Amino acid sequence: MDSKFFLEFVTSLPYDYSDVRYEENRTVQIVYSGKSLKKIAENNTSGGHIRVYHKGGKGVGSFTDIKKMYPLTKELAETAEASAKDSKKKIKLAPAPVVKCEVILKPPIHPLSVSLKEKKELLEEYNNTALSVNGVKTTEMYYYEFYSKRIFANSEGTLIEYELLIVNIGGTIIAIKDGITQSMRVTIGGNDNYGKLLNRWDIFQKKAEKAVELLSADPAKGGTYTVILDPSEAGVFIHEAFGHLSEADIIQNNPAFREKLKIGTKIGNDILNVSDDPTIMDVPGGYVFDDEGVLGQKTRLITNGILTGRMHSRETAADYNEPITGNMRAVDYKFTPIIRMSNIFIENGTSTFEDMVSSIDDGYYIVGAKGGQTSGDRFTFGAEYGYRIKNGQLKELIRDINMSGELFSTLKNVKMIGNDLAFSEVGGCGKGGVGGGMQLNRKSGKGSPHILIENVTIGGKQ
C-alpha cells in the first residue's frame, strides 16, 4: 500500500487526533512433533488499526478490508464523542515530535534470503540432536519467523514506514520414566539475524540430557527459602514482578497503586537498578519506533533502589505528567497498541555467583525460566530445574519448582546482585485486559545477572 494514502486519509479527518497503522505480515512456521513433521506454513495477512481521539474520548478498531476503514472511523469517532460526554476525565495526549522516517532492517543473514528447505533441514537437525539423547521420549520443536512491514500515519503529520522481524528456533523436550514426566524448554535466536540460529547443536544436546537427568531428581519441597535465580529466571522475575506494574496503563486507573508507585519512592535496596531499553537491537525486544510513532528509548525504572521512571503511551504520559518513552506496541493489526516492556533488565551488581552460594545455609539455586504470571502486586513463576543449597554448597538436582511472592516485599529482599548480566534469547509476554483481548508478544526481552532473594515461597509437598 502507498503510505501517502494513509497520511492523506488521516490528516483529512475532522477529529482532534487520529492515527492509522497498516500492516503486511508474513509468518513462517515449521513444527516437528517427535520425528514427524507436523506443520509447514507460511501466512500472509494484511490489515489496519485506527485510533480516534475526539472531545476527550477515544475509539479504536481494526479492519482487514480497506473499504471498511471509512465507516469504522466514523463509528469510532461517535464512540469517542459519546463516551466523553459522561466521563469526568477527558483523555489528552502528550506531545510527540512529528516524524517522517523509514526504518529498514539489515540483519547479517536475512531470514527472507534463506530457503524454506534450509530452514526445515536446520530445525530437523536440532530436533534429531535432542531425540538422539537416550531417555528422551519425544519433542515438539518449531521454527518461527515473523516479518511485519508497517505504515504509521497520524493527523499531526507523522509518517513512518518500518519493519519488525524476529526469528526463533525452540520447543520442548520431553523425557518419561516410571510414570515421571519432565520437560525442558529450549529457544535460540530472538532477533532478526538468521545467523544466530546456526551451529547451536550443543544447547539442544545439553537440554535433552538435563530433561533425562531430571527424571531421577526429587521435586522441590514446599516452604520459604533464600534462593539464587539464574539470569534467565531473574529476567522473568523482574519482568513479572516489577515490569508489568511499571507499565503505566496497568495502574492508570488503580488509585492505590498510583500512590504506591510514585516516582521517588524507595522500592528496593540500594544495589537494585532496573532499566527498559528497546535500543538493544540484538535481543528480542529491540525496535526503533513504537506503534504510536514514538522513538523507542532507554528508561531507567529503578535507580539505586528508587523508582525513577515508568513506561508510557502518549495518553498515560499526559495523565501522569511524565515523559513519553516509546513503549506502545501491538502484536498485529487486530490489536490496539498497549504499553509493553521492550528489553527489561536488572543491571549488573558486584557479587559473584560463588559469593551467593556460600552465603546460604538452606536454600535453592533456581535455573531456567518456565513462564510466569502477575496480578497486581502478586506474582508466580516456574523454573525448569534447580539445585538444593546446603551449608554454602550446591547439592542435589531438584525438579518441579514453582514460586510466588508479593512485589514490594520481594524487591526489598533482593540482597545480592551478580556481575554477569545476560539476556534471554526467547521473548514472549501475554498481556490482556487493557484496551481489549490478550496480546502474545514475542518481541519482549528480559535479562539479569544472577540475583539472591530472601524469603521466597516455593510450592510443593512439605
Partner 1 sequence: MKKAERIIDFLKPHFDEVEVLYQEGEEYTIGFENSQFSYGTGNDTTAYAIRAIKNGKMAFTVSNSTNKKNLKKVLETLKELVETGTPVEFSFNKNSNYEEVKHYAPSIKKTTSSQMYEEGMYIINKIKEKQPDATINVTVSKGVNILHYANSNGIYVSDKGSAFSTTAYLLYPGMGMGVGTWSSSLKKFRISSRKLNNIVKDYRIGLNGFTPQSGKMPVIFTPRGLFAVVITLIEGISAENVIRGISPLKDKIGERIFSEKFTVKDMPIENTTHARRFDDEGVPCFNKVIIERGTLKMFINDLKTAHQLNTDPTGNGFKRAMFGGGIEAMPHPYMANCVIEKGNITINEIIKDIKEGIIVEHLMGFHSSNYLAGEITGQISGFYIKDGKVKGRVDGAMISMNIYQDMKNIEVSSETDIGYLGSSMPYIMVKDVNITGR
9 or 381: CB nearest partner 1: 381
353 or 379: CB nearest partner 1: 379
Using CB under 8 A as the binding rule, whether residue 83 contacts partner 1 is answered as yes
CB 453 within 8 A of CB 414: yes
Question: Which set of grid coordinates corresponds to residue 344?
Answer: 527489561
| Cα distances (Å, whole numbers) of residue 227 to 55, 239, 268, 360, 374 | 52, 18, 17, 8, 19
69 or 159: CB nearest partner 1: 69
Residues 414-433 binding partner 1 (CB under 8 A) are 430
Among 1, 4, 8, 43, the residue binding partner 1 under the rule CB under 8 A is 43
Residues 110-139 binding partner 1 (CB under 8 A) are 116-117, 120, 137-138
Among 4, 89, 177, 395, the residue binding partner 1 under the rule CB under 8 A is 89
Using CB under 8 A as the binding rule, whether residue 262 contacts partner 1 is answered as no
In angstroms, what is the minimal distance from the CB of 58 to partner 1?
6
Using CB under 8 A as the binding rule, whether residue 352 contacts partner 1 is answered as no
In angstroms, what is the minimal distance from the CB of 432 to partner 1?
11
Cα 409 from chain centroid (whole Å): 24
Question: Which set of grid coordinates corresponds to residue 162?
Answer: 518500518
Residues 6+ apart with CB under 8 A from 70: none
In angstroms, what is the minimal distance from the CB of 174 to partner 1?
6
In angstroms, what is the minimal distance from the CB of 73 to partner 1?
10
228 or 330: CB nearest partner 1: 330
**Cα 446 to Cα 444: distance, rounded to the nearest angstrom:** 7
How is 248-312 classified by DSSP, letter by letter? Answer: HHHHTT-HHHHHHT-TT-B-S-TT--EEE-TT-TTSTT--SB-TTS-B---EEEEETTEE---B-
Using CB under 8 A as the binding rule, whether residue 251 contacts partner 1 is answered as yes
Residues 271-310 binding partner 1 (CB under 8 A) are none
115 or 391: CB nearest partner 1: 115
> How big is the site for partner 1, counted in residues (CB under 8 A)?
94
Using CB under 8 A as the binding rule, whether residue 264 contacts partner 1 is answered as no
**Cα 293 to Cα 219: distance, rounded to the nearest angstrom:** 48
Residues 372-391 binding partner 1 (CB under 8 A) are 372-383
Question: Which set of grid coordinates corresponds to residue 189?
Answer: 535466536
CB crowding 285-320: b at 16 or more within 10 Å, else e: bbbbbbbbbbbbbbbebbeebbbbbbbbbbbbbbbb
Q: What x-and-dash track marks residues 187-226 binding partner 1 by CB under 8 A?
A: -----------------------------------xx---
Using CB under 8 A as the binding rule, whether residue 36 contacts partner 1 is answered as yes
Among 189, 285, 293, 405, the residue binding partner 1 under the rule CB under 8 A is 405
CB 93 within 8 A of CB 337: no
Using CB under 8 A as the binding rule, whether residue 90 contacts partner 1 is answered as no
Q: Which stretch binds partner 1 (CB under 8 A): 103-111, 181-189, 300-308, 445-453?
A: 181-189
Q: Which stretch binds partner 1 (CB under 8 A): 7-15, 59-67, 148-156, 349-357?
A: 59-67
In angstroms, what is the minimal distance from the CB of 362 to partner 1?
16
CB 262 within 8 A of CB 451: no
Using CB under 8 A as the binding rule, whether residue 33 contacts partner 1 is answered as yes
Q: Which stretch binds partner 1 (CB under 8 A): 271-279, 320-328, 342-350, 403-411?
A: 403-411
Question: Which set of grid coordinates corresponds to residue 361?
Answer: 545455609
How is 411-447 classified by DSSP, letter by letter? Answer: HHTEEEEBS--EE-S---EEE-SSSSS-EEES--EEE
- Given the DSSP bridges, would you call strands 17-33 and 100-103 parallel, antiparallel or unpaired? unpaired
Q: Which stretch binds partner 1 (CB under 8 A): 163-171, 176-184, 263-271, 319-327?
A: 176-184
CB 58 within 8 A of CB 91: yes
382 or 445: CB nearest partner 1: 382
Q: Which stretch binds partner 1 (CB under 8 A): 2-10, 58-66, 189-197, 296-304?
A: 58-66
Q: Which stretch binds partner 1 (CB under 8 A): 288-296, 323-331, 355-363, 402-410?
A: 402-410
**Cα 277 to Cα 445: distance, rounded to the nearest angstrom:** 9
Q: Would residue 376 be called left, alpha or beta, if left means φ above 0 and alpha means ψ between -120 and 50 degrees?
A: left
134 or 375: CB nearest partner 1: 375
Beta strands in 68-135 (DSSP E): 100-103
Using CB under 8 A as the binding rule, whether residue 265 contacts partner 1 is answered as no
